[in-house]
Chains A and B, each alone.
Chain A
C-alpha cells in the first residue's frame, strides 16, 4: 500500500519552461513534506519542504504547493535548466520523526537544451 505516490515515472521539458512534478499521498496524518533531488551515482539531496500549516513555500526557482484537501503536492521549477535533470523524490512525515519518513518512487526529470 503506497502512501506516497509519484504517478509519473518521467517528465521531459524544454529549457526555460516550467517543470511541474506531482505527488499524492493517502495518509491524512502526514503533516510535513519534502522534495529530494538525486543525480546519478550520488545520494539524494534535500531541495525544499513544506509544513501542512502552509500551502506554498518558495526557494528561488523552486516552489512547492500543498493542497491538503486533495492530499496533493507539486513542485514547480521555473525556469527549468539542464542542470535540473535528475530524479526527484517526494517524501512525507507524520510527526513521528524522520524514521517515519515515507518516500515516493521518484520522477525522472529531463530538461532539454
Chain B
C-alpha cells in the first residue's frame, strides 16, 4: 500500500550543488507532478508529466529539470541549487491529467545554504 514514494525525506545542500529527487508510484497512474510548498504559499506546480514520455513546465520551472523514467518514476533535478530553492517538495500522481484528484508523496524537505 505504498502509493507515492519520495526519496530522500530530508536534504541539505550547499549553493551550487546538484541533486535529484526521486519519486515512484505503484498505482499505475499515467500522470505525475512535482510541486513545491513554501511558507505562507500554496502548492505551486514545477513540472508535470501527463503520460510516459512527456513532460511539461508548470508555474515555477526555472532552475529545475525532470525525467519521466518510465510509467512509475518521475525525478526532479536541481543542477545548481540556490537558496531560493529551499522548500518542501511534493511529488504527486493521478490517473490522468483530466482527473484532478491527486495522490501525494510525503515530501522532501530541502535546505540550500
Given the known interface contacts A98-B31, A99-B50, the answer about A45 and B104 at a Cβ–Cβ threshold of 8 Å is: yes
Smallest Cβ distance from A43 to chain B, in angstroms?
3
Given the known interface contacts A43-B92, A44-B90, the answer about A98 and B106 at a Cβ–Cβ threshold of 8 Å is: no
Name A101's closest neighbour in chain B (CB-CB): B100
Contact B105 A43 (CB under 8 A): yes
The one of B4, B41, B101 that contacts A105, using a Cβ cutoff of 8 Å: B41
Interface residue tally on B, bucketed by range: 20 to 34
Name B95's closest neighbour in chain A (CB-CB): A98
Given the known interface contacts A41-B106, A99-B56, A99-B58, the answer about A46 and B43 at a Cβ–Cβ threshold of 8 Å is: no
Which residue, of A43, A89, A93, has the highest number of chain B Cβ atoms within 10 A? A43
Chain B positions 31-77 with a Cβ under 8 Å from a chain A Cβ: 31, 33, 40-45, 48, 50, 56, 58
Smallest Cβ distance from A50 to chain B, in angstroms?
11
Q: How many residues in A have their beta carbons less than 8 Å from beta carbons of B?
A: 24
Chain A positions 92-112 with a Cβ under 8 Å from a chain B Cβ: 93, 97-99, 101-106
Contact A44 B100 (CB under 8 A): no
Residues of B within 8 A of A75 (CB): none
Contact A99 B45 (CB under 8 A): yes
Contact B42 A44 (CB under 8 A): no
Residues of A within 8 A of B42 (CB): 4, 89, 91, 102-106
Beyond the given pairs A91-B42, A91-B43, A97-B96, 5 more chain A to chain B contacts, judged by CB atoms under 8 angstroms and listed by A's residue number, are A43-B92, A43-B106, A99-B31, A103-B43, A106-B42
